[in-house]
Amino acid sequence: MIFKEALRRELSFTTGGVFLVLVTIMVTTLVIRILGYAANGAVNPEDAIVLISLATLGYLAVLLTVSLFVATLIVLVRWYKDSEMIVWFASGLSISNLIRPILQFATPLIIIIALLALFVWPWANRETTLISQRFQQRDDVSMVSAGQFKESARAERVFFIEELDVDKSEVKNIFVADSKNGRLSIAVASTGYIQNSEGGEKSIVLKNGRRYEGQPTAPDFRILEFNDYTTKIRSKEALVPAPRDREKTVTELLKDNGNPMTLNENRAELLWRIGLPLMALGLVLIAIPLAYVNPRLGNYTAMFYAVLIYLIYSNLLNLTQNFVAQGKISAFIGVWPIHLLAFLIAILLIRNRINPSIKWWRRQLPASFANK
C-alpha cells in the first residue's frame, strides 16, 4: 500500500508538471501563429486571446495523452534508477502488479480525454471558425470609429472619420481611399452622414468635398469638387458556414445524409476521436515495460523509444483516418487493428520483463521445437 500510494502521488505530480510544460509550449506556439494571422488581417487582433484559448482547449486531449504516457515513463524510469523497483520485486511482486495501480490512476484521465475528444474538440473548432468567419464577413461600417484609420474586409478601402455622432448618423472630416482595378481614388470632405438604403445597404454621403483620382504624376490625374459624394458600405449578414468534420458533434457524425463521401469523412473523424482515449490506454500499458533501465544503454534510451513509439502510433492513427475518409477501408476494419497491435505489444513486453532470461514464446512450444 505504501508503494501504491507513493506511485499514485508521484504520477499525479509528474503528470501535472509534464502537462503544464506542454501547455506552455502549445500556448507559445499559438501566440506566435495567431498574432501572425492578426498582423496579416486574417483575424481580429481583439479576438486573439479567445482564439488562443479555444485552440488550447481543442488540443487538451492530445496534450493529456502525451502527458500521461511521458509521466508514467518518467516515474518508472526513476524507480528503476533509484533501485525502488528492486524493493518492489524483493517484496514478491512483479511488473504485472504495477498494471492495476497505474490503470487506477490513468482511468479518470482517459475518461477526460474521451470527453475532450468527443465534445470539447468539435466545439472549440466550431467557435474558432465562427469567430474567423464573422471577422471576414464584417461590413465596412462596423469598422468606422472616430479618430482611427480603418481598413475594409477586402483591403480595398480605408476610412478615417475625425468625429462621429452615432445618434444623428453624422460624421465630420471624412477621408475615404478606394483602390479599384489598380486605380487609386481619394475623397475628402468636412461633413457627411450615414445613409440607410433599401435592402439593408448603408452608405456614407460626403458633403462639399474633393475627390482625387489617379496618381499625381500621371497625365490622367484629376481633381473633382462635389456637393454630394456617396460611397457604398457593403452590409452583409454573417453567414454561418457548414460545419467541417472536425467541427461536427457526435450526433452529426452518426447521421447518414446519403452522401457516401461525407459519410466516410464523418466516420473517419469519429474513428480518430474514439481512437484517442484508446491510444492513451495503449501508450500507458507500453510505458510499464518500456521504462526498464539498462545501465549500459543509459537512462534516456527509454525516452527515445517513447518518442518513436508515440510518433508511429499517432501517424498510423492519422493514416487510418485518411484511408477511411477516402473509402479505401471501412471504419469497422480501421478502428481496431492499430490499438489491438499496441495492446499485444504491451502484453509481449510485459511478459518478457516478467522473465527476461527465458523467452516466453519458447515455453509455449513443445520441447522438441523449443530446443531448435
This prediction has a pTM of 0.75
The answer to which of 23-27, 118-122, 254-258, 305-309 has the lowest mean pLDDT is: 254-258
Q: Provide the pLDDT confidence category of residue 49 given band limits of 50, 70 and 90.
A: very high
**Does the structure show a pLDDT above 60 at 298?**
no
Q: Are 29 and 122 in contact (CB under 8 A)?
A: no
Among candidates 80, 63, 52, which has minimal Cα distance to 16?
63
- Nearest-angstrom CA–CA distance, 289 and 294: 12
What pLDDT does residue 119 have?
A: 94
What is the residue-averaged pLDDT of the chain?
82
| pLDDT, tens digit (0-9, with 9 covering 90-100), for 223-269 | 888 888 887 765 545 455 677 888 888 888 888 777 788 888 899 99
| pLDDT, tens digit (0-9, with 9 covering 90-100), for 349-371 | 888 877 654 444 444 445 444 44
Among candidates 288, 273, 303, 351, which has minimal Cα distance to 103?
288
Extended beta strands in 181-324, E state: 183-196, 202-213, 222-233
Sole residue written with cell 511521458: 70
What pLDDT does residue 23 have?
A: 96
What pLDDT does residue 58 have?
A: 93
The answer to which of 14-28, 145-159, 276-290 has the lowest mean pLDDT is: 145-159
